[in-house]
Amino acid sequence: MNIRKNKRLDLLENLATAVVLIDEHYRVDYLNPAAEVLFRVSTRQTNGQDIRKVVPGFAKLTDAIDRAVAQGATYTERETQIAAGPEHYITVECSVTPMENGRILLELTALDRHLRISKEHRLIAQNRAIRELIRGLAHEIKNPLGGIRGSAQLLDRELDHDELREYTQVIISEADRLQALVNGLLGPDAQPEKRLVNIHQILERVRHLVQAEAPKGVQISRDYDPSIPDIQVAPDQLIQAVLNIVRNAMQAVGKDGRILLRTRTQRLFTIGNITHKLVARIDIVDNGPGIAPEFQDQIFYPMVTTRAQGSGIGLSIAQTLVSQHGGLVECSSQPGNTTFTISLPLEERDE
Ligand SMILES: Nc1ncnc2c1ncn2[C@@H]1O[C@H](COP(=O)(O)OP(=O)(O)OP(=O)(O)O)[C@@H](O)[C@H]1O
Ligand SMILES: [Mg+2]
């Protein structure tokens, strides 16, 4: 009997669906690991606690729970968004089943995960195809551009009228601008050397660089998890990726905005087809105006920009650099709260 019980527990513990068992006062009786991951809490924190206190958004499910209890049958709430923690919103489908012993069984499937994975597959595939196309085009532009600039320079020297020189100067400076754009589009070399580094060193570099460029009122604060192990990366590339994202945040917040750099580890995280046991998460949060929902899907494409001075390649480059580390950049945005998350797989260690 005991063995069968344990087997059932084992099943629950390995289920990808989050399972929560509560009593009629919403006190937590049991929470499986998938639920711990979904709500980012631990069993230790939740046992015997009112689930609405631990997971603030849970209050939204009380109607569903009341209904199931009143009907004495399973009730399913489809696609509902709940706050699982500060700045952590999840979309779930939740089935509520009242049990004979007065307990209430909740099964939650994170729809974000499905939505995220299909969206993310699209992101990775599109990014790759577009990068190829852009690199090809950039190469084609790069060569004649050198010729145009060189000829304009020669012509400039031959001209004796300053008014005419204005024209050659326009050609030269525009050629330079295009050259910088093309260099950006071509991106960095494919395989730079990777070494073990502490991601906080990288973040601190970026913080100093951006703080120096930012208006005085802009505050960049930190919330680092010091337990994150060192990670095998090409430091310059990762600096560039983070810099592109933090710069965007700085440009978005204006004169006296707030930017937060936060690091965490996360268990069981899928990138592409691979579910990693542990990933390092870098969140770059800003309190700027946010990104319009219909625009959010496009910002990782090259040449997509809303800034007059922008070339629209910063995020595309960041995504490419992070994907060269097996990672992914994602974005979620509401007015006043925009979060870019870089997820980097941490190598498995034998313990
Ligand atoms: N933190 C943010 N808040 C609001 N909008 C953002 C944020 N980050 C990016 N965006 C939007 O995404 C667009 C694309 O960003 P991306 O970095 O790729 O290009 P850019 O900043 O416009 O130009 P570049 O980085 O090449 O100079 C931006 O123009 C902006 O509209
Ligand atoms: Mg940018």
Query: Could you tell me if 147 and 36 lie in one domain?
Result: no
The alpha carbon of 147 and the centre of ligand 1 are apart by a number of angstroms equal to 32
| Ligand 1 neighbours by CB, cut-off 6 Å | 244, 248-249, 252, 286, 288, 290-291, 299, 304-307, 310-316, 338
Query: Could you tell me if 240 and 288 lie in one domain?
Result: yes
Summarize the confidence of residues 289-302 as an average pLDDT.
88
CA angle centred on 227, ends 224 and 233, rounded to 5°: 80
| Residue 92: pLDDT over 60 | yes
Last residue of a domain, one of 56, 90, 114: 114
Q: Which residues lie near ion ligand 2 (Cβ < 5 Å)?
A: 248, 314
Summarize the confidence of residues 333-350 as an average pLDDT.
85
Determine the length of the chain. 351
Residue 350 lies in a domain: no
Structure tokens at 219: 């505050």
pTM above 0.85, yes or no: no
Q: Which mutation among 307, 309, 340 tests ligand 1's pocket best, with the greatest number of atoms within 8 A of CB?
A: 307
**Average pLDDT, rounded, for the chain:** 86
Q: Which mutation among 294, 309, 315 tests ligand 1's pocket best, with the greatest number of atoms within 8 A of CB?
A: 315
How many distinct structural domains can be found in the chain?
3
Determine how many CB atoms are found less than 10 A away from the CB of residue 152. Answer: 18
The alpha carbon of 113 and the centre of ligand 2 are apart by a number of angstroms equal to 27
Last residue of a domain, one of 85, 114, 143: 114
Distances (CA, A) of 305 to 50, 174, 248, 255, 316: 46, 19, 11, 20, 11
Of 289 and 37, the structure prediction assigns the larger pLDDT to 289
- What is the distance of C-alpha 130 from the center of its chain? 20
Per the CB < 8 A criterion, the answer to whether 327 and 270 are in contact is: no
DSSP 141-168: HHHHHHHHHHHHHHHHHH---HHHHHHH
Ligand nearest, relative to CA of residue 319: 1
| Residue 189: pLDDT over 60 | no
Determine how many CB atoms are found less than 10 A away from the CB of residue 197. Answer: 16
| Residue 44: pLDDT over 50 | yes
The three-state DSSP-derived secondary structure of 2-29 is: HHHHHHHHHHHHHCCCEEEEECCCCEEE
| Residue 155: pLDDT over 90 | yes
Write the single-letter amino acid at 202. I
For residue 223, the model assigns a pLDDT of 97
* Domain boundaries, position 152: 117-186
Query: Could you tell me if 337 and 239 lie in one domain?
Result: yes
Summarize the confidence of residues 64-89 as an average pLDDT.
85
Q: Report which of 268, 178, 256 is spatially closest to residue 217, judged by C-alpha positions.
A: 256
Q: Whose CA is nearest to atom 1 of ligand 1?
A: 249
For residue 114, the model assigns a pLDDT of 60
For residue 70, the model assigns a pLDDT of 92
Domain holding 89: CATH number? Answer: 3.30.450.20
Summarize the confidence of residues 201-230 as an average pLDDT.
95
Residue 351 lies in a domain: no
What percent of the chain stands above pLDDT 90? 45
Summarize the confidence of residues 40-45 as an average pLDDT.
84
Per the CB < 8 A criterion, the answer to whether 87 and 67 are in contact is: no
Write the single-letter amino acid at 290. G
Determine how many CB atoms are found less than 10 A away from the CB of residue 290. Answer: 17
Summarize the confidence of residues 10-30 as an average pLDDT.
89
